[in-house]
Structure 1
């Protein structure tokens, strides 16, 4: 007989009063940033087409500003520009850079928006996987030009410049920002009960028509792992998870797409996933990446110190899965 582990439930400590929901649930979806997006909202079917056009427009704007795969994006133009030259950033791009640099400083570079050269070196950028793994000399060379302190940013004028040949890579934060931007767009159109998802990162507001919250499972483990499932009510919250599923097999181990800025190589610290709940999906996105780089001990200590609601899953040995929750997330458990 198979024993099913119980599901734990996390509920925000502060709940807003919601007005009665009289409209039905609508569902629209599409593709962006190499992945899918979906929006569930409480409203009329007539509003769906208007919202779709608005959402597609804001997502295209994010891509044109921050995609490293688009040679004409503002990010690509910055990366290809002369060293030391100031660039005035579009408003959304500047918002993301300000948050990226804030979290880079807070995490002592565990999250770093200048890792483009190392991302490309390991084959996770637009050029794809290299024919051979990089040498120690190649890694040292590229690591030597990276580092968030090699950027100068004037937030008041939205101007940015680089002092080395580092290249921006915002893939660890831009998707979360896009989730926030879509949610803002919904509010601007009078939608206050919705669930937004882009590539597995989500934000929820209000309630479903039946008065229940938007329930989301945190990286549901297999039944055999012994780790019970964790379900979260996304009521005014966003959630982002960083993991090791993306990557490729190298000599003796799987090479994660998450690169440790300190070593310049893919992480090899037993981490499986890091999940962060936050009011901002942009912040949750970047913090989740930082926790993956830090590892389970330093990561949970960081989350505790900064009052982040976080769940960290890691391999206790080569097989067994273990989990640690930060005090802020533990306090949400019902």
Structure 2
């Protein structure tokens, strides 16, 4: 069974590509994932080599500012800073930090950009991967270093205070920001009709050369056919991100430890949620919010989605497959 979702408000009418427009594609690797871009190219469009170089430059700048794997990045500089030091951040990095702190406040800490020590301890960051759960003492020590409430920012100066031991980790928001950044770059080049994807997170604008929307199938876990539907969404001025327990994990002692950590406990989220998909105008926010809802779980997550009018789909694992729960905002988009 197939169903479709369409944005409730298209805003301005989707730009119609020129009659001679053709579909072009570029792809590559970034942030430990792959990226791809499709666009409607007219005779006046920037050539592919120039456009590809521009896209790669945008992604390289995101890494230079926000990567925990890059020792010279702005985030890494902050993480190494001595207690009491104020560090100025580039505008993009500062805006991502502000957005991350807002999601942390709204979710009661289910999302926490200061969870770097926990991410490393569980082997899901730059630190070596591990094959078993960490000891309780190590876990408590890592938790003591976290706490989004300890992060103080100075908006006027785009600065952040290092209180001591705080290690920022933007792994649950930076890819979404990268999608937004590439989309903005394409629009600045006059390419209004495009689809951008990084690691399965997407943002679309306009329509394809044939006048059809950028139709995208929502991600489902392996064996996700049990949800009963293939869901297509028309991405015009809309982004989609999915957080799932099947992407990165390890198994030890009969337990499966997924990469989505609950900063409030220090352990991976352990409820029956297989994945959460969020639709939002900004991919950065869809990325962060899908993580927050995954940590909150199906009940509290649905309450949060309803309170904030989020279009969200929850797939809950059971012995026979998956149950699906849709937020009211998601259901309203069904056509």
**Normalised by the shorter chain, which TM-score bucket?**
over 0.9
1:64-107 CA distance string (max 9 Å, x none): 11110111111111101101210000111111011111111111
State the Cα distance separating 1:145 from its structure 2 match: 1.7
For structure 2, the residue ranges without an aligned partner over 5 or more in a row are none
Distance 1:305 1:200 in 2: 26
Q: How does 1:1-334 map to 2 (within 5 A)?
A: 6-15=1-10, 16-22=12-18, 23-44=21-42, 47-130=47-130, 132-220=132-220, 222=223, 224-245=225-246, 246-315=248-317, 317-334=318-335
CA deviations 1:207-247 (Å, max 9, x no partner) are 00111101111114647514212111101100011111211
Q: Distance in 1 between matches of 2:16 and 2:227?
A: 40
Q: How many residues align?
A: 328
User: How well do the aligned residues superpose, as a CA RMSD in angstroms?
Assistant: 1.4
After superposition, the C-alpha distances for 1:131-162 in whole angstroms (9 at most, x for unaligned) are 65311111111112201001101122110013
Secondary structure, aligned partner of 1:304: helix
Deviation at residue 24 of structure 1 after TM alignment: 0.8
Name the SS for the 2:196 alignment partner: strand
Aligned mates of 1:70, 1:223 — CA distance in 2:
35
TM normalised by structure 2 equals: 0.95
Q: Which moved more, 1:129-138 or 1:198-207?
A: 129-138
TM-score, structure 1 as length reference: 0.95
Q: Is the 8 A contact 2:131 2:252 kept in 1?
A: no
Q: 1:19 to 1:283 in 2, by over 3 A?
A: closer
State how far apart, in whole Å, the 2-side matches of 1:19 and 1:75 are. 38
For residues 47 and 104 of structure 1, the distance between their equivalents in structure 2, rounded to whole angstroms, comes to 41
Contact kept in structure 2, 1:11 and 1:233, CA below 8 Å: yes
Distance 1:302 1:309, change over 3 A: same
Secondary structure of 2:85's partner? coil
Q: Distance in 2 between matches of 1:234 and 1:206?
A: 8
SS at match of 2:277: strand
**Relative to structure 1, is the Cα distance of residues 19 and 133 closer, same or farther in structure 2, using a 3 angstrom cutoff?**
closer
Q: Which runs of 5+ in 1 are unaligned?
A: 1-5
Residues 53 and 244 (structure 1), Cα distance of their counterparts in 2 relative to 1, 3 Å cut: same
CA separation of 1:191/1:262 partners in 2, compared to 1, >3 Å: closer, same or farther?
A: same
Following the alignment from structure 2 to structure 1, what is the Cα–Cα distance between the partners of residues 35 and 131?
A: 32
User: Relative to structure 2, which stretch is displaced further, 38-47 or 141-150?
Assistant: 38-47
